[in-house]
Structure 1
Amino acid sequence: MDTENPRIIISGGGTGGHIYPAIAIANALREISPGTQVLFVGALGKMEMEKVPKAGYGIVGLPIAGLQRSLSPSNLLFPFKLVRSLWKARQVIREFNPHVAVGVGGFASGPLLQMASLAGIPTLIQEQNSYAGVTNRLLSAKASRICVAYPGMEKFFPKEKILLTGNPVRKDIIDISGKKETALAHFGLSGSRKTLFVMGGSLGARSINESIESSLPLLTGQDIQVIWQTGKLFTDRARQTIDQLQLGHLVKAFDFIYEMDLAYAAADAIVSRAGALSVSEICLAGKPAILVPYPYASEDHQTSNAQVLVSEQAALLVRDSEAGGQLGQKAVELIENEELRKTLSENCRLLGFPDAAVRIASEVLRLA
């Protein structure tokens, strides 16, 4: 590091899976080098424009948006938004004059890192998935360093640029030992029952939600209590079903859970999508999980993420198309099989990287 007060741009976002790791890197930068100035660059109208300021950082928005998979009139605007975003990114770089630019994935990463590379600024890519996205593969040619979460990523990136760091997660999830009693009390649940934690990402997951809804009699009939993060679109329906079945003492539904450390601490098993952040958190928490990959994720990267864990006997996989008929029964079988839960827990913990944020931040500062 050539300066005591390095200026770092972190770009990306779109979902919690990109935003929270980015904030974790920013926090680690300030811990290692308190004089570090961090500026975020995101996409206008996306989640990062709200979440990043709440974490105490400034953010600039680019007018970028992704291409729709279906034939959509909005796709006609994409070239114009891209050009405007490249121009805006160039302006931000000139004004902030960063020592390093970091991309964590999401719409804003591409324009920002492209313009930073053209300006001769060192760039670092943080690839969170086991199957690299198209944007990061294109950007890797000019990147100074590529931090990855899975081994074997040389099939996507130049081997000499790769550093295996894992994915950064929120600090409170790294150590949840000793929190179970507090966690169960927080959610109003009993210490005498097994607990299933169901989450479908910050926006929810219809197949998971509908399967859990239809499986509530089965789950609670086996003396299993449920913490259920439904996402905003399913909360009212979930609570209505819980009320109709008179299961309010056993099933707690939330649109979003802010105290994720307590949800993990309370859980004996987890049902989740297989996004990069969720998988990393599950590994660090050391919790047995059933992963239901979102089948329409770009390059089907969630299935790739899940299969890495399955190959290491660190998680179970249920296909999205099979969730309706299998998920509830699989959850019961996992909860009731203590030996399997122990095996999955031990193996997934081996895949966790508790110091990922610090390792990535240290690499950023080396480039500064």
Structure 2
Amino acid sequence: MGQQGIDRVVITGGGTGGHIYPGLAVAKELKNQIPGVKLLYVGAKDGMEKEIVPGAGFDFEGITVGGLERRLSIKNIQTFYKLAKGFVEARSILKNFKPDVVMGTGGYVSFPVVQAAARRKIPTLIHEQNAFPGLANRMLAKRVDRVCISYGEAVPYFHKRAKIDVTGLPVRDEILTMGRQEALDFFDLKKDKLTLLVVGGSRGARSINRAVKRIIQWVAGESSKQLILITGKLDYQEVIQENREFLNSENIRIYSYLDRMEYGLAAADLVVSRAGATFLSELTARGVPGILIPYPHAADNHQEFNARSLEKHGAAKVVLDSQLKDDMLLRDVKELLNPEILNKMAENSRMAGKPRALDAIIGIILEMLN
């Protein structure tokens, strides 16, 4: 309990939406559950979080941060200077704000903040989204009080003294509550057809968008299948031009971007997508099976680790980006768009999911506050 009986919590993480949005979900729920709680989000001065966090209605302070290259380089010398400066700034923020708990959600910015908090004996926890933990969280695990993880497969990568809770990754309420019929109405699709959702990401995935061309041709001629394709903004015009003859099919819906993914997941019987942790947590929270194509250039190949975890549970099939040639993706889609197979995979997806992840993390924070 902080000054004048008010709880004070710092949340830190950044660099990608996968680190930022789980932290914001926690902040929002803490605000709902603790009257008068004081929340501060600490991110990188030049990170995307400096716009996203204030836009979500939370106080933000930035520190200097830089990412390490895993080889000797001039950039690493500059990064060590930035890290030292970031530590000083983090200590100053903690001294002034006086938090009762500090939570890190990953990314380079979380390291100096959580490390400084641990040195000041402030209760600390970190959350790791991926099946293969990021460098910052691996380094912090032995210093913090609690480690929350999304995948049980991540346990061996942490220090043996780490106190680990497999909580899952928080998902938005809308993901859980959206109804199938409302979602189908949103896309003007039929409830008696199997729905395939293909997502390339907000910027796009050219390899997926090219491989899906044969799927568009097939679905357009089917009486029991329909397709929602989210191309990403970069590839949208190219996809539209290449598939002009199918755009008027009642079975085909093509969009550059979908900012309400709850509609897509509620409508889908099968999803083709990359394997980012946030999207997979939403996928399994809804109990939707997937064909997962890990982004091949992700740090530490963490997307393949995520995808293999769901494949092991029978909730997904993994196709590597290098395998997207000929009609392999079409063959896999045809094989899995079968009601009996989908029902079994959907059950496995639900069992792998943790729709109450946010409640679990909030429970740990409340325990630390009390």
What TM-score, normalized by structure 2, do the two folds share?
0.90
CA contact (8 A) 1:16 1:202 kept: no
| 2:266 paired residue number | 265
Q: Does 1:97 align with 2:98?
A: yes
Residues 240 and 151 of structure 1, relative CA distance in 2, 3 Å threshold? same
- One-letter code of the match for 1:338? P
Find the counterpart in structure 2 of residue 170 from structure 1.
172
| C-alpha contact (below 8 Å) 1:126/1:146 kept by paired residues | yes
Q: 2:284 and 2:230 mapped to 1: Cα distance?
A: 19
Matches within 5 A, 1:218-257: 218-223=218-223, 224-243=225-244, 245-247=246-248, 249-257=250-258
1:66-117 deviation per Cα after TM superposition (whole angstroms, max 9, x unaligned) = 2467999755642333233222222221221211111111231112112212
Amino acid at match of 2:119: L
Query: 1:242 touches 1:251 (CA, 8 Å); kept in 2?
Result: no
Q: Does structure 2 conserve the Cα–Cα contact (< 8 Å) formed by 1:10 and 1:40? A: yes
Partner of 1:332: 334
**1:240/1:41 CA distance change after superposition, 3 Å:** farther
Aligned AA for 1:175? T
- Tell whether the 8 Å contact from 1:20 to 1:170 is kept in structure 2 after alignment: no
Q: CA deviation at 1:244?
A: 5.2
Q: Which residue of 1 aligns with 2:310?
A: 309
Residue 266 of structure 1, CA deviation: 0.9
Q: Residue 343 of structure 1: CA displacement?
A: 0.6
| Secondary structure in 2 matching 1:295 | coil
Aligned residues: 365
TM-superposition CA deviations, 1:167-217 (whole Å, max 9, x none): 1111111233xx222212212333343221112334432322222245321
Q: Which amino acid aligns with 1:237?
A: E
- Residue segments in structure 2 that go unaligned for 5+ positions in a row: none
Code of the residue aligned with 1:318 in structure 2: it is V
* Larger CA deviation: 189-198 vs 352-361: 189-198
Q: Which residue of 1 aligns with 2:34?
A: 33
- Verify the 8 A CA contact 2:246 2:252 in the aligned structure 1: no
Percentage of matched positions with identical amino acids: 39
How much has 1:305 moved relative to structure 2? 1.4
In terms of mean alpha carbon deviation, does 291-300 or 73-82 score higher?
73-82
Report the residue type matching 1:163 in the other structure. Answer: D
Shift of 1:283: 0.8
Contact 1:175 1:285 in 2 (8 A): no
Q: Hey, what's the Cα distance between the residues in 2 that align with 1:239 and 1:61?
A: 41
Give the conservation status (yes or no) of the 8 Å contact 2:107–2:134.
Answer: no
Higher relative contact order (CA 8 A, sep 6+): 1
User: Please, what is the CA RMSD of the aligned residues?
Assistant: 2.5
Counterparts of 1:249 and 1:70 in 2: how far apart (Å)? 53
1:84 aligns with 2:79: no
Q: Distance in 1 between matches of 2:213 and 2:90?
A: 45
CA distance in 2, matches of 1:40, 1:249: 46
Secondary structure, in 3 states, of the residue corresponding to 1:348? helix
